[in-house]
Amino acid sequence: MSHEHPISPEELMAYADSQLSADRTSQIGAHLESCRDCAEAVADAKALSSRLATWQIEDAPEPLTRSVLAALETRPRRNELRSAVRLWTKGRVLAYGFGGAVFVLTAVAGISLVQRYREMREYDTQRSAGLSAPEEIPRTWPFIATPPPPPPPAASPQGTIGRLSTAQQPVLPSSSTSGPLIIRSVQLTLVTKSFETARTRIEAIVQESKGYVDSLSVRSEPKSPKSLSAVLRIPEMTLAASLIELRKLGEPKQESQNSADITGQYVDLVARLSNARNTEQRLLALLRDRTGSLKDVVAAEGEISRVREEIERMEAERKNFDNKVQYATVQVEITEEYHAQLQPPLTNTGTRIHNAAVEGYETASDTILGIALTVLADGPAVLVWLMFLSSVGFIARKLYVLIRARRLPGTIASI
């Protein structure tokens, strides 16, 4: 075969392998009739193929058939398994991400709601106890369009509340009814570290305020903390300063103040008292200026005595009013710190369980809050990293599939 042959060796080989088009096959066939070298080349190629074909392999063993057909029988289960394993499809990743975001937002909102609720409860408790309210107005509830509760009255420098601003004015004379007459009472519960010091200070405070101790009792029993219960009468003018001093005796646990307006009662009492005095004066005038039978004189004196008794009773009542208005009643309960912190001894198992449940709830809330804060603090960075790694993984997966597709054409990439 020389270089002048119009047909290349590769084409002759392809002719021998029947790998040419029909036209080219007929052209080469015609050439072979006139070219002995090319015909020999084709014959050699066919002979070689025939020789190679003598290397035969036995049929596939029967176990192969059984094992493949057995695998075929498990096909549905395998597909189910594959679909179950393919958890991280694109759609599922989006669904998982969305679900996770919703969960985090719900958790954060729920925790925030619980936290606000607890703050509101604490605020309400303080307000109802009459303790000094926090300076800041409570924040509005999240997601709830209701207005916040009205802010507590501004605390005076002495820490008093409500109508104390008017009550702090000098008490009107008992004969005057130009201003409101207020009877004030205060209940104060304290927990002190030093019981004896507190007791001593109470007497000193009362003395400094020009008041007096109405009653005082101390309870001290073995294996029991000391407690003190006292009713103090403090002049209205010095009540605010005295309360400040009393609060310093320990940690206030409860404080409440009440005010009662007795102006109407007082005015009525004064009017009745005036009338009674006028009646007494008229009866005395009648007895002095008029003459009559003994029976009439005795009747007039009896009436004067009744009116006098009534006047004295009303005078006493008025003095009592004056006393109550001028001296506020302060009821003080002081216990040692130990008792206040540990609560009264729990003998009821149900109570213990209840308290344990409350503590557990608070601990769980704090834990969830901590987790939420961590998520809020670090979550964005973690999300950024996850997005970055997911992108890298996605690109790597695509490249891997492309490489496999190039190495194994057709649908091999789907293996």
Question: Which residues would be at the binding site for other proteins (CB under 8 A)?
Answer: 9-10, 13-14, 17, 19, 44-45, 48-49, 51-61, 63-65, 67-69, 71-73, 75, 78-79, 82, 406-412, 414-415
Contacts 24+ apart (CB under 8 A), 310-319: 310/276, 311/273, 311/276, 311/277, 311/280, 314/269, 314/272, 314/273, 314/276, 315/273, 317/269, 318/174, 318/266, 318/269, 318/270, 318/273, 319/174
CB 46 → other proteins: shortest distance, Å? 11
CB 403 → other proteins: shortest distance, Å? 11
Burial of 343 (0-12, 13-18, 19+ CB in 10 A): exposed
Q: Which is nearer to other proteins, 80 or 362 (CB)?
A: 80
Q: Which is nearer to other proteins, 63 or 345 (CB)?
A: 63
d(CA 112, CA 114): 5
CB 381 → other proteins: shortest distance, Å? 37
Q: Which is nearer to other proteins, 20 or 328 (CB)?
A: 20
259, 182 Cβ separation under 8 angstroms:
yes
Q: Which is nearer to other proteins, 17 or 296 (CB)?
A: 17
304, 280 Cβ separation under 8 angstroms:
yes
CB 393 → other proteins: shortest distance, Å? 20
334, 249 Cβ separation under 8 angstroms:
yes
Q: Which is nearer to other proteins, 68 or 395 (CB)?
A: 68
CB 358 → other proteins: shortest distance, Å? 56
251 closest CA partner among 340, 135, 126, 330: 340
Q: Which is nearer to other proteins, 12 or 234 (CB)?
A: 12
CB 21 → other proteins: shortest distance, Å? 12
Tell me the CA end-to-end span of the chain in Å, nearest whole number: 47
